[in-house]
């Protein structure tokens, strides 16, 4: 593995040497580094001035893919992988409560912060934000920053940040799209922007629905249930004076999923039917004022609410079988001050408060989480050659210890076309509501899960109701244990190299060290029904390391390719410790021979692929006014615990029999202008028809779609 790593590095180094002589020239590809992004500094900034690994997905590429799903677009990026949470239940007709998320630098979806226009989405289920909540028809660009971004954005930004920037009203325009595809998937999108002297308005609406599908007709209930989504966005900008600007925006999303499956309340099967309704909305207001040429302040208020309601009814008598509810509300006032101008010298500082409130049928009570934060970041340049960002953020929270998260990033322009980048930053992830407040007893097996903040009260209640024997001494649990946030230290180093007017190469090495991972554990005594009681504590330490490399090449005005690759190692440090001490064993499931696990046998964390690759081809034909857009994602083999019933008792990934084979997803879309302002698109997704019904029920086989697009601009 290391050899492969070395060769790739050498190959890239060689490439630089060979083509290093050519002069930098102006070209459209070189402009990739001139793209303006906002995520890295909370102000507009050119990519070439930012000493962080950053990728931008343009509206054009999103449009050319013809896709309706954000997750499909994200997974075609270098090093971004879909992490399924299969639970093996979707195939059996159960609704999958969690969905898929994006794994970045080998870290789970819970460790990547998802922002829309710089503000966080809330409402994670088991750490995963349903990316289907974000309609893609009005995205201006998507900015992806790798490495901890906690110093600007707080909790959850350990692996990095995905910031979805929506369209601003800058011209008068109207567009419309109708999408129809396999599984009776129907998408209707309308958007418009209106600008007059001082005011701009952007409106957007989307309806998206699908019949879902069923992989196994012998099992009652569909693999993916039918659903209908509605989303609407509105944005208003108003220039109050030459110095002041007001921005108001609102976002609303709702999804209704139609559930229909079998349950076994006793030994008899019963049909239940119902709906899962997920809603998500936000309101945002910002007042921006230039005090003078140097100083600008931005005062904003962001309010967002999320809810997930699942209710199912027995078919035989329409009686309610079960309701599961989760609602989350957050209010965040914030003040930011910018002093100076980037990239020469810019100081950004801010203060804000989070008021968050969560309510769930599985949580003990309505729970509040109040937090305050301060951040400051300085960007400056030395002689046009060195770009430095230094910053820190301080988070104070009512439930856990205060967190200080510093970051330092440096870019050095060896030549104008060769930029070395290095950054180091700290990140944290606050204990989530489940880990703090859960109070849930499984009705079938009878075990109990208690969040750390609910432990003392939960145990007392169980003892009072006779579920814990009276001779168990609960005094050691009088004080609730305090969970600490999970901490990370991330290092990224690499370069952006504009080889010539046709080619750009990027390389980034990364290492993330995560400590204090929160895991469940069982208490040393059982309930009177002899079932365990679980709670959460800070336990594990893991690391991920590897590199991401990408190469873009533009043959001519009409034909370009992009290739990306990620190499990844992700391991548990405590497992390595155990192996080094010779204390980890495995038992061959056939011969029952027990042996000591060696360091070489340990393949790393489950569900991580060592090798991932992506390719993108784009071809324009002017004569036919047509564009072909082809994307491919390779995900290398990865470990899955208990694959095909394999078990060797080691609890870690150490055997090839646990390896899920790698696969390729290949998509192709052709767009053709059919009249002035009208365009027709047709596409095939998953051309190779890859499926893994048990482990990746969200990947349907080969599917087809057509889009009719209308666009008017003035």
Partner 1 sequence: MKMKNMKLSLLAVAVVVAGLVSCGKEEVPAPPPTPTVSITDSVEIPFSTNHYLFYRFKDSAVVAAADSATTKWDFGLRFVSIIVNSHSSGPGNGGVITQPGIYDNYITAPTTGYAYDTTATQTGVDAGLTTGWYNYDDATHVFSPKAGQFFVIRTADNHYVKMEILSVTYAGFVSQTSPPTTLIYKFRYNYQADGTTNLQ
Residues near partner 1 (CB under 8 A): 86-89, 92-94, 219, 261-264, 267, 269, 444, 447, 469, 471-472, 519-528, 530, 532, 534, 583-587, 589, 592, 594-596, 641-642, 645, 647-651
Nearer to partner 1 (CB atom), residue 172 or residue 698: 698
Nearer to partner 1 (CB atom), residue 88 or residue 416: 88
Q: How far is the CB of 252 from partner 1 (least distance, A)?
A: 34
Q: How far is the CB of 592 from partner 1 (least distance, A)?
A: 5
Q: Provide the Cα torsion 432, 427, 379, 422; round to 10°.
A: -140
418 phi, psi to nearest 5 deg: -130, 110
Gap between the Cα atoms of 512 and 147, Å rounded: 8
Nearer to partner 1 (CB atom), residue 179 or residue 571: 571
Dihedral sign for Cα atoms in the order 24, 30, 36, 39: negative
Beta bridge partners of 632: 615, 666
Q: How far is the CB of 504 from partner 1 (least distance, A)?
A: 41
- Residue from 656, 659, 619 nearest 638 by CA: 659
Q: How far is the CB of 643 from partner 1 (least distance, A)?
A: 9
Q: How far is the CB of 469 from partner 1 (least distance, A)?
A: 5
- Residue 573 burial (C-beta neighbours within 10 Å; 0-12, 13-18, 19+): middle
Nearer to partner 1 (CB atom), residue 38 or residue 517: 517
Nearer to partner 1 (CB atom), residue 205 or residue 652: 652
Nearer to partner 1 (CB atom), residue 28 or residue 529: 529
Q: How far is the CB of 462 from partner 1 (least distance, A)?
A: 12
Q: How far is the CB of 90 from partner 1 (least distance, A)?
A: 11
Answer for the pair 259, 225: CB distance below 8 angstroms, yes or no.
Answer: yes
Nearer to partner 1 (CB atom), residue 387 or residue 448: 448
Answer for the pair 85, 128: CB distance below 8 angstroms, yes or no.
Answer: yes
Q: What share of the chain is helix, strand, coil (3-state, %, to 5)?
A: 10, 55, 35
Read off the DSSP letter of residue 455. Answer: H
DSSP 303-367: EEEEEEEEEEEETTT--EEEEEEEEEEEEEEEEEEEEEETTTEEEEEEEEEEEEEEEETTBSS-E
Nearer to partner 1 (CB atom), residue 239 or residue 315: 315
Q: How far is the CB of 444 from partner 1 (least distance, A)?
A: 7
Gap between the Cα atoms of 49 and 508, Å rounded: 16
Dihedral sign for Cα atoms in the order 9, 11, 14, 18: negative
Go through 333-362 and write b for each residue having 16 or more CB atoms within 10 A of its CB, e for each that does not: ebebbbebebbeebbbbbebebebebbbeb
Bridge-based pairing state of the strands 486-498 and 559-572 = unpaired
Nearer to partner 1 (CB atom), residue 257 or residue 417: 257
Bridge-based pairing state of the strands 638-639 and 659-660 = antiparallel
Nearer to partner 1 (CB atom), residue 131 or residue 579: 579
Q: How far is the CB of 220 from partner 1 (least distance, A)?
A: 8
Nearer to partner 1 (CB atom), residue 323 or residue 595: 595
Write the Ramachandran bin of 41: left for phi over 0, alpha for psi from -120 to 50, otherwise beta.
Answer: alpha
Gap between the Cα atoms of 470 and 448, Å rounded: 17
Nearer to partner 1 (CB atom), residue 585 or residue 712: 585
- Residue from 656, 640, 665 nearest 81 by CA: 665
H helix runs in 372-505, sequence order: 433-437, 455-464
Q: How far is the CB of 518 from partner 1 (least distance, A)?
A: 13
Q: How far is the CB of 649 from partner 1 (least distance, A)?
A: 3
What are the residues whose beta carbons fall under 8 Å from the beta carbon of 618, sequence distance 6 or more?
A: 64, 559, 560, 561, 627, 628, 629, 630
Q: How far is the CB of 615 from partner 1 (least distance, A)?
A: 31
**343: preceding bond cis by omega (within 30 degrees):** yes
Q: How far is the CB of 543 from partner 1 (least distance, A)?
A: 22
Residue 412: how many CB atoms within 10 A of its CB? 16
What are the residues whose beta carbons fall under 8 Å from the beta carbon of 312, sequence distance 6 or more?
A: 259, 272, 273, 274, 320, 321, 322
Write the Ramachandran bin of 592: left for phi over 0, alpha for psi from -120 to 50, otherwise beta.
Answer: left
Q: How far is the CB of 314 from partner 1 (least distance, A)?
A: 15
Nearer to partner 1 (CB atom), residue 445 or residue 623: 445
Q: How far is the CB of 226 from partner 1 (least distance, A)?
A: 20
Nearer to partner 1 (CB atom), residue 448 or residue 686: 448
**C-alpha distance from residue 604 to each of 108, 484, 570, 572, 599 (Å):** 14, 25, 5, 7, 10
Q: How far is the CB of 126 from partner 1 (least distance, A)?
A: 11
Write the Ramachandran bin of 95: left for phi over 0, alpha for psi from -120 to 50, otherwise beta.
Answer: beta
Gap between the Cα atoms of 631 and 267, Å rounded: 48
Nearer to partner 1 (CB atom), residue 228 or residue 643: 643
Q: How far is the CB of 278 from partner 1 (least distance, A)?
A: 23
Read off the DSSP letter of residue 691. Answer: -
Answer for the pair 534, 523: CB distance below 8 angstroms, yes or no.
Answer: yes
Nearer to partner 1 (CB atom), residue 34 or residue 519: 519
- Residue from 34, 66, 24, 14 nearest 704 by CA: 66
Nearer to partner 1 (CB atom), residue 259 or residue 377: 259
């Amino acid at each position: 593995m290391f050899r492969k790593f070395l060769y790739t590095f050498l190959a890239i180094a060689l490439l630089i040497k060979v083509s290093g002589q050519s002069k930098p020239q102006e070209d459209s590809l070189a402009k990739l580094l001139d793209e303006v992004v906002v995520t890295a500094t909370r102000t507009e900034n050119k990519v070439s001035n930012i000493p962080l690994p950053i990728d931008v997905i343009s509206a054009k590429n999103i449009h050319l893919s013809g896709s309706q799903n954000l997750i499909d677009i994200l997974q075609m990026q270098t090093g971004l992988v879909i992490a399924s949470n299969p639970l093996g239940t979707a195939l059996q007709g159960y609704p999958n409560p969690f969905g898929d998320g994006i794994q970045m630098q080998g870290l789970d979806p819970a460790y990547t912060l998802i922002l829309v226009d710089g503000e966080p989405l809330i409402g994670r289920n088991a750490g995963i934000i349903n990316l289907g909540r974000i309609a893609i028809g009005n995205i201006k660009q998507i900015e992806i920053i790798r490495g901890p971004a906690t110093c600007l954005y707080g909790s959850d930004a350990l692996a990095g940040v995905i910031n979805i920037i929506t369209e601003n009203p800058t011209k008068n325009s109207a567009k419309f799209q109708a999408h129809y595809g396999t599984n009776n998937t129907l998408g209707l999108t309308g958007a418009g922007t209106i600008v007059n002297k001082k005011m701009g308005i952007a409106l957007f609406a989307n309806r998206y629905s699908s019949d879902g599908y069923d992989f196994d007709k012998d099992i009652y209930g569909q693999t993916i249930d039918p659903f209908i989504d509605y989303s609407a966005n509105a944005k208003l900008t108003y220039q109050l004076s030459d110095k002041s600007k007001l921005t108001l925006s609102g976002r609303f999303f709702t999804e209704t999923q139609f559930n229909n499956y079998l349950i076994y309340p006793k030994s008899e099967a019963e049909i239940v039917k119902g709906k899962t309704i997920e809603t998500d909305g936000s309101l945002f207001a910002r007042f921006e004022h230039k005090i003078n040429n140097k100083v600008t302040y931005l005062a904003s208020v962001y309010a967002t609410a999320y809810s997930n309601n699942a209710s199912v009814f027995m078919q035989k008598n329409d009686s309610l079988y079960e309701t599961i509810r989760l609602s989350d509300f957050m209010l965040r006032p914030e003040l930011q001050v910018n002093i100076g101008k980037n990239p020469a010298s810019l100081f950004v500082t801010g203060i804000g408060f989070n008021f968050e409130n969560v309510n769930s049928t599985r949580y003990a009570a309505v729970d509040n989480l109040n937090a305050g934060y301060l951040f400051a970041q300085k960007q400056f340049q030395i002689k046009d050659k060195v770009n430095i960002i230094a910053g820190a953020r301080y988070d104070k929270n009512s439930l856990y210890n205060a967190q200080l998260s510093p970051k330092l990033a440096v870019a050095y322009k060896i030549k104008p076309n060769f930029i070395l980048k290095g950054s180091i930053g700290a990140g944290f992830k606050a204990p989530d509501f489940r880990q703090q407040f859960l109070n849930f007893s499984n009705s079938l097996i009878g075990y109990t899960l208690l969040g750390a903040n609910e432990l003392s009260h939960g145990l007392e209640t169980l003892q009072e109701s006779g579920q814990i024997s009276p001779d168990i001494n609960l005094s050691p649990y009088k004080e609730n244990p305090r969970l600490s946030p999970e901490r990370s230290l991330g290092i990224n180093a690499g370069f952006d190299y504009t080889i010539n007017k046709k080619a750009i190469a990027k390389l980034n090495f990364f290492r993330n060290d995560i400590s204090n991972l929160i895991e469940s554990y069982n208490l040393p005594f059982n309930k009177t029904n002899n079932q365990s009681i679980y709670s959460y504590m800070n336990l594990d330490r893991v690391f991920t390391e590897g590199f991401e490399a990408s190469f873009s090449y533009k043959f001519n005005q009409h034909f370009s390719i992009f290739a990306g690759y990620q190499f990844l190692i992700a391991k548990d440090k405590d497992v390595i410790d155990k192996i080094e001490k010779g204390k980890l064993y495995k038992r061959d499931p056939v011969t029952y021979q027990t042996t000591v696990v060696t360091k070489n046998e340990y393949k790393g964390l489950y569900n991580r692929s060592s090798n991932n690759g992506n390719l993108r081809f784009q071809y324009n034909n002017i004569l036919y006014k047509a564009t072909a857009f082809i994307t491919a994602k390779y995900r290398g083999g990865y470990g899955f615990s208990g694959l095909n019933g394999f078990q060797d008792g080691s609890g870690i990934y150490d055997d090839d029999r646990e390896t899920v084979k790698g696969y390729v997803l290949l998509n192709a879309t052709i767009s053709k202008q059919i009249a002035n302002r009208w365009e027709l698109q047709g596409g095939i997704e998953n051309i190779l028809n890859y499926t893994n019904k048990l482990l990746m029920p969200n990947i349907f086989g080969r599917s087809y779609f057509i889009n009719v697009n209308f666009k008017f601009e003035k």
